[in-house]
């Protein structure tokens, strides 16, 4: 044991050594092929060094990055690294007092009342919150008006528990109408600057942060107009952000939010004010098709938010995009956070990602981009004056996302990739926000009852047609079509007979390039003669008679499937 050496014989590889190793792994391709600017707006590199990490002097007038990017403390309150909040949508099935009490007994420490579907008066709230100890489990409101907030405050007044933390999360105008509450209830946070709302409409990461800053400053101005000084108002405002499925983007976004908040706080003379950040898992990436995959999406988002050091986190149940939740899915949602806190202990280290050149670089990129977005809004005269510009930017962002989803450059597991046709889609809910998977879901719902088939007209030997047959089956399944596989061979009549026996109305030819050259045209003609209403070929387009469409890596899969649905007469 005395001769044991732990790494002593290893050298200190240079950056060039690492890059050479990367090129070896890429089999001679240059490292530049790994560099990309993604839809989140990040220019991601294959390798990060200290050179990628800017200093405070390099960052467009923003303050130094430490300690502003860090969470406040390892423990934000006596017991929990962050508040585990569960959303209760008023008027939604299963959103009742029993569900709230079950959530609280299972580890939830804050209740988020969502009034987006239905308002509630004090009497209804009394019933909903019966036996809830509001001095221990604070309330956080969503989509509340000043009238709704007054009804909630009335419930608190009746309980005689005094001044307890409550997050009204109002718009700037509604917060201004309740400014006197800040005097009688000092622990109340009146307003939220809601970046998550922009995210739900398709905003990119930098846009979400930049427009959040614009909402924040708009709120400060409106609260000042009714007598609340900006330095005092800042501590009455919560920042609400979407927890990204993109783990690193979400982590960097929350860290950048602190930095940007610090710049605002310093400008108004309140440099010691720390932000209160509430993160919510993004429903934009959720799907009601194979909803169990949403658990993985929520876990990735929650872990990024937890490591970034949020003050409150809401994880949506995997059934959140459907008509209702249930005991199991709500339990999984809250246990996701419980496990992160109590088993993974990710909240016991302040800014665990700090010092990572990759994370620091993403944080810096994002802070600069977001500050630029904020300055554009201010140059227009504020967020209200810039609304048409914001709408146009959101429309373009959605088009960019849709294009990436269409071609599967942005793959959606369980939706556009590896769809499971045995998993029945959720009953459609009332959510009208933008979701990446919505168009594919429409196809799946339209095909669910009919369960249409596609015949895989395989040519040649199994070893040669299987790769393209699997590829095609996966694409058609994304549209809700069940694949019936042919046995192969090269006889057109035999393949046409198998097509008839499959009871399918459409077919896709699957083979190697050599077999396409030799047999595809004759087999396409035989399939057409046998009544195939649509014939596709798995591969790049080529001049083959009777072939109606082609599916291949990088093709517009969604449009391809939509045309097939039209051919089959399926109502979307």
Q: What is the dihedral of CA 93, 434, 236, 268, to 10 degrees?
A: 180
- Residues 267, 187: Cα–Cα separation, whole Å: 24
Length, in residues, of the chain:
572
**Per-residue pLDDT, 57:** 46
pLDDT at 72 over 90: no
Q: What is the CA radius of gyration of the chain?
A: 28
Tell me: domain 449-568, CATH 3.40.50.620, correct?
Answer: no
Taking the C-alpha atoms of residue 487 and residue 474, their distance in angstroms, rounded to an integer, is 18
CA distances, 572 to each of 155, 208, 558, 561 (Å): 45, 32, 13, 11
Residue percentage of the chain with pLDDT more than 70? 91
> 156-160, 275-279, 378-382: lowest mean pLDDT where?
156-160
Confidence band (pLDDT; 50, 70, 90) for 61? Answer: low
34 vs 45, 46, 354, 404, CA distance in Å? Answer: 7, 6, 24, 18
**pLDDT at position 133, please?**
93
Q: In the beta sheet, which residues pair with residue 356?
A: none
Angstrom distance (rounded) from CA 65 to CA 48: 18
Fold topology of 74-388: TIM Barrel (3.20.20)
* Residue-wise pLDDT tens digits, 319-341: 999 988 999 999 999 999 999 99
Domain ranges of the chain: 74-388, 449-568
Listed range (11-25, 29-43, 184-198) with the worst mean pLDDT: 29-43
pLDDT for position 65? 46
- Where is average pLDDT lowest: 246-250, 357-361, 458-462, 559-563? 357-361
**What would the mean pLDDT of 33-40 be, rounded to a whole number?**
64
pLDDT in tens, 100-157: 999 999 999 999 999 998 888 889 999 999 999 998 999 999 999 999 999 999 999 8
Q: Which residues of 353-373 are buried (b: 16+ CB within 10 A; e: fewer)?
A: bbeeebbbbbbbbbbbbbbeb
344-391 pLDDT tens trace: 988 888 888 888 888 988 999 899 999 999 999 999 999 999 999 999
Burial 324-352 (b: 16+ CB within 10 A, else e): bbeeebbbbbbebbeebbeeeebbeeebb
pLDDT per residue over 291-326, tens digit each? 999 999 999 999 999 999 999 999 999 999 998 899
């Amino acid at each position: 044991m005395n001769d044991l050496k732990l790494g002593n014989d290893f050298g200190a590889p240079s950056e060039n050594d690492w890059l050479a190793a990367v090129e070896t792994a890429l089999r001679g391709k240059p490292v530049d092929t790994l560099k990309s600017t993604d839809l989140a707006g990040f220019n991601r590199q294959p390798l990060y060094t200290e050179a990628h990490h800017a200093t405070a002097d390099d960052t467009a007038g923003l303050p130094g990055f430490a300690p502003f990017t860090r969470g406040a403390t390892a423990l934000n309150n006596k017991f929990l690294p962050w508040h585990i909040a569960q959303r209760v949508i008023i008027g939604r099935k299963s959103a009742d007092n029993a569900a709230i009490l079950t959530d609280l007994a299972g580890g939830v420490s804050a209740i988020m009342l969502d009034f987006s579907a239905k308002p509630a008066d004090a009497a209804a709230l009394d019933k909903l919150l019966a036996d809830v100890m509001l001095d221990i489990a604070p309330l956080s409101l969503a989509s509340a008006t000043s009238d709704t907030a007054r009804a909630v405050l009335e419930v608190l007044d009746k309980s005689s528990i005094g001044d307890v933390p409550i997050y009204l999360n109002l718009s700037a105008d509604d917060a201004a109408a309740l400014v006197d509450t800040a005097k009688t209830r000092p622990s109340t946070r009146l307003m939220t600057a809601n970046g998550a709302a922009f995210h739900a409409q398709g905003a990119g990461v930098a846009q979400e942060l930049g427009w959040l800053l614009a909402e924040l400053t708009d709120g400060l101005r409106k609260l000042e107009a009714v007598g609340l000084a900006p330095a005092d108002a800042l501590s009455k405002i919560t920042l609400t952000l979407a927890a990204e499925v993109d783990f690193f983007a979400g982590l960097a976004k929350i860290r950048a939010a602190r930095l940007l908040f610090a710049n605002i706080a310093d400008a108004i003379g309140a440099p010691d004010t720390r932000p209160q950040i509430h993160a919510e898992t993004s429903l934009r990436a959720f799907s009601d098709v194979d909803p169990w995959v949403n658990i993985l999406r929520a876990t990735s988002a929650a872990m990024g938010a937890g490591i970034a050091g949020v003050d409150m986190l809401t994880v949506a149940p995997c059934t959140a995009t459907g008509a209702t939740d249930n005991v199991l899915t709500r339990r999984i949602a809250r246990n996701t956070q419980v496990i992160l806190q109590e088993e993974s202990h990710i909240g016991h280290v302040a800014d665990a990602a700090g010092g990572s050149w990759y994370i620091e670089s993403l944080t810096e990129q994002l802070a600069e981009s977001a500050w630029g977005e904020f300055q554009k809004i201010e140059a227009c005269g504020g967020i209200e004056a810039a609304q048409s510009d914001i709408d146009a930017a959101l429309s373009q962002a959605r088009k960019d996302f849709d294009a990436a989803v269409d071609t599967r450059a942005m793959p959606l597991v369980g939706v556009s990739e590896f769809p499971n046709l045995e998993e029945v889609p959720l009953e459609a809910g009332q959510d009208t926000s933008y979701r990446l998977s919505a168009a594919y879901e429409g196809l799946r719902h339209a095909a669910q009852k009919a369960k249409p088939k596609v015949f895989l007209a395989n040519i040649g030997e199994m070893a040669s047609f299987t790769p393209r047959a699997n590829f095609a089956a996966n694409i058609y399944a994304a549209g809700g079509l069940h694949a019936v596989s042919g046995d192969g061979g090269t006889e057109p009549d035999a393949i046409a007979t198998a097509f008839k026996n499959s009871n399918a109305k459409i077919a896709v030819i699957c083979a190697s390039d050599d077999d396409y050259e030799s047999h595809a045209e004759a087999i396409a003609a035989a399939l057409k003669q046998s009544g195939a209403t649509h014939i596709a070929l798995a591969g790049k387009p080529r001049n083959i008679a009777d072939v109606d469409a082609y599916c291949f890596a990088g093709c517009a899969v969604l449009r391809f499937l939509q045309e097939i649905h039209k051919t089959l007469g399926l109502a979307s």
